[in-house]
Amino acid sequence: MGNAAIADYGLLADGRSAALVDRRGSIDWWCPERFDAPSVFCRLLDSNGGHWSIQPTDDFETRREYLSDSLVLRTVFTTAYGEASVTDGLVLEPGSRGHLIGRRSPGVLVRVVEGGSGTVAMAMSYYPRLEYGSRTAYLVWRDGTLVATAGPTTLTMTTPVPLTCSDVEATARFTVGPGERKVFVLAHRPTYHEGSPAGLDARDPLGDTVEGWRSWANLHSYPGCYPELVRQNALVLQGLTYQPSGAVVAAVTTSLPERIGGDCNYDYRYAWLRDFSLTLRALWVAACPDEANRLFGWVASAVGQVGDEPVPIMFGVEGERDLTERRIETLRGYADSLPVRVGNEAWRQRQLDVLGEVLDAAWQLRDYLDPMPPEVRDLLRSLADQAATSWRDPDAGMWESRDADRHYLSSKVLCWAALDRAILFGDRLGDAADLARWAAARDEARKTILRDGWNAEVGAYTGAFGSDKLDASVLVMPIVGILPATDERMRATIALIEERLSDGGLLRRWDTDPATFTLCSFWLVRCLVLAGERDRAAAMFERIAGTANDLGLFAEQFDPATGAHLGNFPQAFSHIGLVIAAWDLTAAPDAVLNEGES
């Protein structure tokens, strides 16, 4: 089997880890211990990387959907001889409900095969390859189960059908007819830990998990435009959350390329402060802000004392700081796109925009931070202080440039936003001297941004001071309120970005970007709303939303020429963009703008 298209994958999640299953019924990615742990299946990145497939032996067509308000996926296979389904889910801790789901998930993957009409011949292939395909697990029958062990990891499979086993792979052929059900259970545990996962209901092994997801979804009520899309995307963001800590991963994969055959292949299974902050805003929109104190508490704990050092921009899901990057030489990469990376050297970068992202999210959720925990107050004060002293400095920018640091406009704009929001908090954050110091820095930053960010020859605000390159990140200017979208220069910038960076109605980050960037496309929607062009914004919103796959999932980028999804998947940024843009289409333009003004 060659690589499935990125858009062919569906997401399974349990609040600690994630798996990807393609429309052919093959689970090609699973890191069972946690999002950023080594994989046990990674055919996503190499045809020999390990998989677990269940599919008809005859030619088939598929349709699939999530069971309502859950991340349990049902795929229906139709052949010339009948119809059968496979329902896949990562199991939540039995009985967990509401905001407690996923905090103690057992690391169990369940696949339920059910017969519909006729008789369908099925084939199963189970080939675990642990630690990113570098270790072959030997299969042994033990106490009626199939055990695969390699070093620290053990997988235990219970199966209702006879298996044919080699040392390293198990296969099976079986049939299902109307009403027949066969349940396969694969459990992960550390090799040297005793114990086994809690028992499952044999009659409905995924029923409790579905109810757990629904209990979370039912806590929230979104009153705005596109309610089904917002509800679905909020659920995906919940699936990208490491529930024990509250960290939100940027994506569940590593090394899916921005360009097929290119080398911009990075590990996104970590928690960026930027993504975290934007996710909080999206969950506020989707009426899910209940855990703001807990999540901001995680950020305060992970960041620690800031001092004069650059603010850390990303962490492991439990707050780990050192994410040193290495290459996995045993994998050929998605569609031969090398290198395959684990870890991400961006952890060493200075990215000043995160200061504003965190403070802006805190301001939006201010009612849920009252009273404000002392550690959160200390964090926000420190971020404001750093914005006041660092806004003049060059940095790597929000696109994480790996060459020279520059004076990126969006970074300086978000430093302005950090100071602006700190001032809005008033004495909840600082005393009179603090507020005066922040106000002076804010006013100087704004004056400099509006003067040095404008390129008269281009006729627009450009990506960096002194640059003639357009960059879609400058669309954050009206979004955070440093200028209204109706300002003459801002309106010219929006129009030029749309003219030169759009492709099929979607936006690239810059003119050499290999494909359109979904978050930037939603930013343009928001800017059009702020400029009073609601109808055009709504049409653009629907065009972008229509690029999701059949399950409503987005990668980082989309190629309008081929319809291909590119980059890591599913991408938190993209889902965040949809939720917030839907709210902006709901709210009055003045209300959206005034929310961030001092």
Spatial CB neighbours of 32, under 8 Å, sequence gap ≥ 6: 17, 40, 107, 109, 153, 155, 188
Q: How far is Cα 37 from Cα 469, in angstroms, rounded to an integer? A: 38
Return the closest-CA partner of residue 347 out of 319, 376, 308.
319
Spatial CB neighbours of 194, under 8 Å, sequence gap ≥ 6: none
Model pLDDT for residues 253-277, shown as the tens digit of each residue: 999 999 999 999 999 999 999 988 8
Report whether 419 contacts 387 (CB < 8 A).
yes
Name the burial class of residue 324, with classes exposed (0-12), middle (13-18) and buried (19+) by CB atoms within 10 angstroms of its CB: exposed
* Residue 575 DSSP label: H
Model pLDDT for residues 487-518, shown as the tens digit of each residue: 999 999 999 999 999 998 899 999 999 999 99
Quote the tokens at residue 564.
């291909």
Q: Of 241-250, 410-419, 435-444, where does mean pLDDT reach its minimum?
A: 241-250
Mark 79-95 as b/e (b = at least 16 C-beta within 10 Å). bebbbbbbbbbbbbbee
Q: How far is Cα 394 from Cα 463, in angstroms, rounded to an integer? A: 13
Return the closest-CA partner of residue 48 out of 440, 332, 349, 354.
332
Band of pLDDT at residue 591, cut at 50, 70 and 90: very low
Sign of CA dihedral 423, 427, 430, 434: positive
The residues with which 140 forms a beta bridge, in sequence order, are 147
Q: Of 88-102, 232-246, 277-291, 411-425, where does mean pLDDT reach its minimum?
A: 277-291
As a three-state string, the secondary structure of 321-341 is: CCCCCEECCCCCCHHHCCCCE
Report whether 524 contacts 495 (CB < 8 A).
no
Quote the tokens at residue 385.
């202080």
Residue 355 dihedral angles phi and psi, to the nearest 5°:
-60, -45
Say which amino acid occupies 574: S
The residues with which 136 forms a beta bridge, in sequence order, are 129
Average pLDDT rounded to a whole number, residues 411-433: 97
Report whether 281 contacts 268 (CB < 8 A).
no
Element (H, E) at 303: helix 292-303
Q: How far is Cα 454 from Cα 463, in angstroms, rounded to an integer? A: 10
Looking at domain 220-594, its CATH architecture is Alpha/alpha barrel (1.50)
Report whether 18 contacts 269 (CB < 8 A).
no
pTM of the model: 0.94
Using DSSP, state whether 533 is helix, strand or coil. Answer: coil
Q: How far is Cα 598 from Cα 548, in angstroms, rounded to an integer? A: 36
* Residue 598 DSSP label: -
Element (H, E) at 174: strand 170-176
Say which amino acid occupies 566: L
Q: How far is CA 473 from CA 119, 331, 421, in A?
A: 54, 34, 20
**Segments making up each domain of the chain, as ranges:** 6-201+212-216, 220-594
Model pLDDT for residues 347-381, shown as the tens digit of each residue: 999 999 999 999 999 999 898 888 888 989 999 99
**Residue found by looking up tokens 């429309």 in the block:** 23
pLDDT higher than 70, residue 590: no
Q: How far is Cα 42 from Cα 27, in angstroms, rounded to an integer? A: 9
Model pLDDT for residues 29-88, shown as the tens digit of each residue: 999 999 999 999 999 999 999 999 999 999 999 999 999 999 999 999 999 999 999 999
Element (H, E) at 415: helix 409-425
Extract the runs of DSSP E, i.e. beta strands, from 438-511.
454-455, 460-461, 502-503, 506-507
Q: How far is Cα 576 from Cα 284, in angstroms, rounded to an integer? A: 11
* Residue 93 DSSP label: P
Give the other-Cβ count within 10 Å of 327's Cβ. 14
Model pLDDT for residues 374-410, shown as the tens digit of each residue: 989 999 999 999 999 999 999 999 999 998 999 999 9
6-201+212-216 maps to which CATH number? 2.70.98.10
Give the other-Cβ count within 10 Å of 389's Cβ. 12
In DSSP notation, 186-218 reads: EEEEETT----PPP--TT-TTHHHHHHHHHHHT
Quote the tokens at residue 130.
């642990």
Q: How far is Cα 418 from Cα 360, in angstroms, rounded to an integer? A: 7
Mark 128-140 as b/e (b = at least 16 C-beta within 10 Å). bbbbbbbbbbebe
Using DSSP, state whether 12 is helix, strand or coil. Answer: strand
Residue 148 dihedral angles phi and psi, to the nearest 5°:
-120, 120
443-449's contacts with Cβ under 8 Å and 24+ in sequence apart are 445/391, 445/412, 445/415, 445/416, 445/419, 446/416, 446/482, 448/392, 448/412, 449/409, 449/412, 449/413, 449/416, 449/482
Using CA atoms of 441, 412, 269, 205 in order, give the dihedral in degrees to the nearest 10: 70
Residue 563 dihedral angles phi and psi, to the nearest 5°:
75, 10
Average pLDDT rounded to a whole number, residues 138-162: 90
Return the closest-CA partner of residue 498 out of 508, 488, 489.
508
Model pLDDT for residues 543-580, shown as the tens digit of each residue: 999 999 999 999 999 999 999 999 999 999 999 999 99
Average pLDDT rounded to a whole number, residues 423-445: 97
